[in-house]
Amino acid sequence: MHQARTTCPYCGVGCGVLARLEGDRLTGVDGDSDHPANFGRLCVKGSALHETLGDHGRLLRPRVDGVEVDWDTALDTVAERLQATRTAHGDQAVAAYLSGQLLTEDYYVANKLFKGFLGTPHLDTNSRLCMASAVAAHKRAFGADAVPCSYEDLEEAELVVLVGANLAWNHPVLYQRLRTAKSRNPLMRVVVIDPRVTDSCEIADLYLGVAPGSDARLFNGLLAWMADQGKLDRVYLEKHTQGLDETLAAARGDDTTLEAIAADCDVDAERLETFFYWFASQLHVVTLFSQGINQSSSGTDKANAIINCHLAGGKLGLPGAGPFSITGQPNAMGGREVGGLANQLAAHMDYHTPGALDRVTRFWTTDGLVPTLPEGPGHKAVELFAAIERGELRAVWIMATNPAVSLPDANRVRRALARCPLVIVSECVADTDLLAYADIVLPATGWSEKDGTVTNSERCISRQRGLLPPPGEARHDWWIMVEVARRLGVGEAFAYRHPGEIFDEHARLSAFENAAESARLFDISALAGLDRAAYDALAPIQWPVTADAPHGTARLFEDGRFATPDGRAHLVPVRPRGPEQSLSPARPLRLNTGRVRDQWHTMTRTGRAPRLMNHRAEPFIEVAPEDAAAQGIEDQQLARLSGAGGDYVGRVRLSRAQRRGELFVPIHWTDQFSGTARTGALLEAHLDPVSGQPELKQGAVALALLAAGWEATLLVADDLTLGGEIRGDVAYWARIPLSHAERWQLAGHPGDAPDWRTWLAAYLPTAPTLWSEDPDGGRWRAAGIAEGRLRWWLMVGPPAELPGLAWLTERFAEAAGGEGLDAGRRRRLLAGCDDGAGDSGPLVCSCHQVGQRAIVAAIREGDASVEALGARLACGTQCGSCIPELKSLIEESAEPRAEEEGAHAFAKTQPNTIDVA
């Protein structure tokens, strides 16, 4: 066994991972204690990485028009069809749609190939759905897309404001760092601004449950308040900024009394004043923002409204201070660095940057082969698919993202893809919703197989290392593109043999003609010329990395000089605007969409690890009890959401954490995991006019009970395939992998009362061996045993009656006892639990597999603190992500158990506010 260093492929925290390797297998992971992002910590997703690997479910061979082919055929076909499209319809009929989950080297090659040598500007990425508003705001304010802060700034701040960021779930290791820092510095304050009470509120001193989309009004109000209270940093403003007067005038365009701002944001005026006072009176403030700000039709303005307040108070370029846009994907930043957005050219140069087109053309010219760069920007993500729908774009190559799920108005995107004459998809996994639309499917290597670099939220470049052999015939994304380039006759410009050579070229371009007078901030010149060994050994380092800063740069703008032509930061006037998706009697509820703790996006990887599936096992709808009651819906019932472009079906979770009139749904479920549970289908495509980022957080939907004839849970051994078309036959299904079985949660159409023996015979290869029924209550239990093994298990009845399933799933792994089962064994199998084993209930701690019932029992026996629970059950002692949930269980168990779970005690009494500690 040996260990190797690499980087986690999930969130933008970018944690260092120590992988344990035994031969050709990766058997476990630990946090890398030397990595500056995590110092040894990992969250639950990171620590389950090894459970998501293996050939099972992977794409192993290229396919053309549904037929498996060898690589030569696949690559020849890609090249021929792309060339044919260009010949018939012009270079600009070709597009690429990429992802912040590609490595920088893949990304660099894609950008150079499409913009440089295929001559099309239409290359955009899923970062458009993610970071585009922050990028645009940075450029407007600082003159460059640069995140000023470091993670250390969060720890050194006296006030940390989390706006539209559920750090506890989505950047868990950073959250743990903040939590630890707060426990060491009792004067540190944390404010959470989010329409929902999230787990991040666990460490909040003040919570502002703002009306969705009201953030610009809030921060404009703060700016005006700072001015009125004499809290502006006049010296900083004078020396280092411009635009204060216009910006302040815009902020004063609305009534700036506290009462008026509080009313518009729907928060308590006193609490608002407390926040304003804290912000204005502290120098060391970090405002960390994410998708609650970016994913808006006015996201760029919202981000600038935040940055304005920092500039106005001089709270920037200092330890523990600055606006901090936290990135989502592992390499969202790397993509921005290579120019992987339709409005960028390359290496932090835009089309309109003076001299940039000529500079990049000269840099990319190889052996007399001159690139044919497009003259101006291309279509941004949503527009790109609209152009496909219109038939203007006739070929698209999609890599490492799933637009059939993650774009707004996703059903329309599907129709566009179905009409597109050429869809090429590079993907690791065999079953994604997108692959149904692909003409050419290219199997790509994934994490632990591929080599390259990623840049995290604090500009830190880290190596991901290829540790395992590729499965089947999977190939590296950069290699696939290089081979296509060769076939298109431009191979000289892509003569890379190893990602290290691509990185070297990328580093050289960052330095190329990067002179002082027109300096580009993105400069990693000191990383050019690394040999293979040095590249392989590259330690994490924050850009810029130059001769002056050979060890990297922790913080930007410390000297008050910005990347604008006049060196000054710009305050940007902002006029607040509401959401574009309007509520109406037909769609009266505000739809909020986002992430859950244990899943990653479309679940192609996290959906393979059973322990990550237990925290939220089904698609759900979080709703305030009053809104559910208005529709006659009770907790745990199934409900349907209807949006402009489609529907969503999920299980209702009543929650006091949710404001009235608003719903929260997770983004993770696809057609692979449930029948109708894609949030993208519910949302209309409305874009921020500056960044092109879609409004993904403020949809408009109707909620109604899903009438069901029956509900059932079916467990089937994981080597058993269900017969028939069960997905089409039921009103609702959701599929979940367990350790040795698959769980199907099912609901029948209204009025549908099947004869269960016939029903079972239609889908299952073996007849029931065990059977029990309660004819009055419509409850049934049955199980099938074949060749001495448990093959399936059925419970007809509401899932609330389910046992915890841990004991039962273990039974699928062992000999069940066959024909001669004694009565006790039969009863236990049907019950789904062992009398003595105690059923631990729904999972709370994924790391140590500790369930809710076990935790509540321990609390009732006196272990009513996180520490005591950890000592007894080990829950919360590894990654710490479940600590907020443990705390709320402790709070809830102290009072009569409320019927709704998950909301914190304070939220129950005051949904909009919590007491100042």
Ligand X SMILES: Nc1nc2c(c(=O)[nH]1)N[C@H]1C(S)=C(S)[C@@H](COP(=O)(O)OP(=O)(O)OC[C@H]3O[C@@H](n4cnc5c(=O)[nH]c(N)nc54)[C@H](O)[C@@H]3O)O[C@H]1N2
The full 3-state SS of 595-609, as one line of letters, equals CCCCCCCCCCCHHHC
DSSP character string of 382-396: HHHHHHHHTTS--EE
Q: Examine residue 212 and tell whether it contacts ligand X (CB under 6 A).
A: yes
The helix or strand, by DSSP H or E, that contains position 222, with its residue range, turns out to be helix 215-228
In the complex, least distance from residue 327 CB atom to ligand SF4, rounded to whole angstroms: 11
Assess 609 for contact with ligand SF4 (CB under 6 A): no
Total number of residues that touch Mo ion (CB under 5 A):
2
Residue with tokens 């707060």: 182
Q: Which is nearer to ligand X, 43 or 770 (CB)?
A: 43
Q: Residues 86, 89, 94, CA angle at the centre, nearest 5°?
A: 55
Q: For the CB of residue 43, give the shortest distance to ligand SF4 in the complex, in Å.
A: 3
Are the C-beta atoms of 526 and 106 separated by less than 8 Å?
no
42, interface contact from ligand X, Mo ion, ligand SF4, none, CB < 5-8 Å by kind: ligand SF4
Cβ contacts of 733 within 8 Å, gap of 6 or more: 674, 675, 726, 727, 744, 745, 746, 747
Q: CA 178, CA 201: separation in Å to the nearest integer?
A: 12
d(CA 136, CA 330): 20
Compute CA distances 685 → 95, 409, 566, 602, whole Å.
20, 6, 37, 19
Contact 413, 381 (CB under 8 A): no
- Among the listed ranges 124-132, 367-375, 586-594, 622-630, the one in contact with Mo ion (CB under 5 A) is 124-132
**Does position 15 bind ligand SF4 by CB under 6 A?**
yes
Contact 462, 331 (CB under 8 A): no
Query: Which of ligand SF4, ligand X, Mo ion, none does residue 746 bind to, with CB < 5 to 8 Å depending on kind?
Result: none
- Residue 424 interacts with Mo ion (CB under 5 A): yes or no: no
CB 294 within 8 A of CB 207: no
Chosen residue from 446, 610, 737, 768 binding ligand X by CB under 6 A = 446
- Identity of the residue numbered 237: L
Q: Tell me if 305 contacts ligand SF4 by CB under 6 A.
A: no
| Burial class of residue 814, CB neighbours in 10 A (0-12, 13-18, 19+) | exposed
**Smallest distance, Å, CB 173 to ligand SF4?**
4
Q: Which of 9, 328, 335, 403 binds Mo ion (CB under 5 A)?
A: 328
Compute the distance between CA of residue 14 and CA of residue 461 in angstroms, rounded to an integer. Answer: 9
Cβ proximity of 764 and 770 under 8 Å: no
In the block, which residue shows the tokens 């919202």? 302
Residue 684 CB, nearest approach to ligand X (Å): 11
Between CA 722 and CA 736 the distance in angstroms is 14
Q: DSSP character for 694?
A: B
- Choice from 111, 329, 343, 462 touching ligand X (CB under 6 A): 329
**3-state secondary structure (DSSP) of residue 774:** strand
Any contact of residue 697 with ligand X (CB under 6 A)? yes
For ligand SF4, the binding residue among 5, 6, 8, 118 (CB under 6 A) is: 8
In this complex, which beta carbon is closest to ligand X, that of residue 178 or of residue 785?
178
> Restricting to residues 381-400, which ones interact with ligand X according to CB under 6 A?
399-400
11 binds ligand SF4 (CB under 6 A): yes
Query: Which stretch in 166-174, 311-319, 734-742, 761-769 sits in contact with ligand X by CB under 6 A?
Result: 166-174
Question: Which residues ranging from 539 to 598 are in contact with ligand X (CB under 6 A)?
Answer: 592-595, 597
Lookup: tokens for 517: 């007078």
As measured in angstroms, the least distance from the Cβ of 328 to Mo ion is: 3
To the nearest whole angstrom, how small is the minimum distance from the Cβ of residue 868 to ligand X?
27
Interface region with Mo ion, contact rule CB under 5 A, candidates 105-113, 323-331, 589-597, 700-708: 323-331
Report the residue from 14, 292, 576, 884 that binds ligand SF4 according to the rule CB under 6 A. 14
**Is 159 an interacting residue with respect to ligand X (CB under 6 A)?**
no
Element (H, E) at 795: strand 789-796
Please tell me the distance from the alpha carbon of residue 700 to that of residue 460, in angstroms, as a whole number.
Answer: 38
Site string for ligand X, 102-141 (x = CB under 6 A): ------------------------x--xx-----------
- The verdict on 45 binding ligand SF4 (CB under 6 A) reads yes
618 or 688: CB nearest Mo ion: 688
Told to check if 333 binds ligand SF4 by CB under 6 A, we report no
Report what 852 binds from Mo ion, ligand SF4, ligand X, none; CB cut-off 5-8 Å by kind: none
Contact 456, 14 (CB under 8 A): yes
Cβ closest to ligand X, residue 594 vs residue 748: 594
Report d(CA 535, CA 15) in Å as an integer. 19
Which two three-digit tokens encode residue 212?
């969705």
Burial of 728 (0-12, 13-18, 19+ CB in 10 A): exposed
Contact flag: residue 135 with Mo ion (CB under 5 A): no
End-to-end, the C-alpha distance of the chain in Å comes to 49
Look up residue 840 and give its two tokens: 């631990």
The answer to the question of residue 293 lying near Mo ion (CB under 5 A) is no
The answer to whether residue 299 forms part of the interface with Mo ion (CB under 5 A) is no
Residue 362, number of CB atoms within 10 A of its CB: 13
Strand partners, 674: 734
Binding to ligand SF4 (CB under 6 A) within 132-191 occurs at 171-173
Q: How far is the CB of 195 from ligand X (least distance, A)?
A: 5
x/- map, 73-102, ligand X, by CB under 6 A: --------------------------x-x-
User: Is residue 625 a contact residue for ligand SF4 (CB under 6 A)?
Assistant: no
**Among the listed residues 107, 151, 169, 543, the single contact to ligand X using CB under 6 A:** 169
Work out what residue 14 binds among Mo ion, ligand X, ligand SF4, none; the CB cut-off runs from 5 to 8 Å by kind. Answer: ligand SF4
Q: Measured from the CB of residue 780, what is the shortest distance to ligand X in angstroms?
A: 36
The correct pick among 53, 130, 571, 706 for binding Mo ion (CB under 5 A) is 130
**Size, binding site for ligand SF4 by CB under 6 A:** 14
Got the DSSP string for 436-487? GG-SEEEEB--TTT--EEEE-TTSEEEEE---SPPSTT-B-HHHHHHHHHHH
Q: Footprint of ligand X on this chain (CB under 6 A)?
A: 11, 99, 101, 126, 129-130, 163-166, 169-170, 193-196, 198, 210, 212-213, 215, 290-292, 295, 328-329, 399-402, 405-406, 426-429, 432, 444, 446, 450, 477, 592-595, 597, 599-602, 604, 667, 679-680, 683, 696-697
